[in-house]
Amino acid sequence: MAEEILIIKDEGSVASLLSRNLSQKGYDITVQGFRQALRQARKHKPSLVILDLSASGTSVSDKCQLLHDVTGAPIIALTESLDKLEEIEGVEYLAKPLDFRKLLAIVETTVNRRRTRKKRSRRFLRRGHMSLDLHNRCLIKGEHRYRLTPKEFLLLRLFMSNSGRVLSHRRIMKEVWNTDYLGDTRTLYVHVSWLRTKIEDIPGAPVHLRTIRGVGYRFKIER
């Protein structure tokens, strides 16, 4: 499966030429304006973002930070000014005028590095004093180790991956039970109750997994 590269361009950019070069290398290329790209990236995260905007260094750095927060993907910024870009995690930069051979080399290095990291899948998802063993599907809390049913594991992984966020009943049912049906959420309530016996000191007075009445749940734990 080809790696997906998102190229963000404006008027006067070299996106078309860059797109042709990268397509010939076997990459799956999408070229969009910034706002459209940001909307798409929230739903479908690319392997790499190339930002080619004719703007001031401050504007480009702000856009890089926003894109990194939304996609988590590495970014290559093509810009006349390098101001502040060194401070942003996951951003490589290349000054204009462009050296295409150098740019293609950076693209290949960045994609290969990401591909290698993907192969080294992480073992634990940690929040505070809790660790979720992603390989053995169990919860480690302090000195205790708890076996999880398949649905408990999926549910806790969803909560821990979205710590601090309110998750609606609809989203939970969709991601854990793969259904949009909300006519009967008793199975969700039961699984939440089971999880609380494992993650809470006092399951009847939950601190980490709180009910947001009429909406859903929020998992939060101090680091």
d(CA 32, CA 6): 8
Identity at 26, one-letter amino acid code: G
Please state the rounded mean pLDDT for residues 159-177: 94
pLDDT of residue 12: 62
> In the chain, what is the straight-line distance between the N-terminal and C-terminal CA atoms, in Å?
37
**pLDDT for 86 beyond 90:** no
Where does CATH 1.10.10.10 sit in the chain? Answer: 124-219
Question: How much of the chain, in percent, has pLDDT values that exceed 90?
Answer: 35
Identify the band that residue 157 occupies on the pLDDT scale cut at 50, 70 and 90: very high
For residue 94, the model assigns a pLDDT of 83
Q: Which fold has domain 4-119?
A: Rossmann fold (3.40.50)
The answer to whether 115 and 123 are in contact (CB under 8 A) is: no
What is the second-level CATH architecture of the domain 124-219? Orthogonal Bundle (1.10)
Residue 87 banded pLDDT, cuts 50, 70, 90:
low
Residue bearing the bigger pLDDT, 207 or 58: 207
- Give CATH 3.40.50.2300 domain extents, the chain: 4-119
Helices 186-199 and 150-161: crossing angle in degrees, nearest 10, is 80
Confidence band of 65 (pLDDT split at 50, 70, 90): confident
Task: Rank 61-65, 131-135, 206-210 by mean pLDDT and report only the highest.
Answer: 206-210
Q: What average pLDDT does range 151-164 have in this prediction?
A: 95
**Averaged pLDDT, 173-188:** 90
Q: How large is the average pLDDT for residues 13-30?
A: 85
User: Exposed e or buried b for every residue in 30-56, given b needs 16+ CB within 10 A?
Assistant: bbbebeebbeebeeeebbbbbbbbebe
What is the total residue count of the chain? 223
> Which of the pair, 217 or 12, is modelled with greater confidence?
217
Mean pLDDT score across all residues of the chain: 85
Tens of pLDDT, residues 46-63:
889 998 876 554 577 788
State the chain's maximal CA–CA distance in angstroms: 63
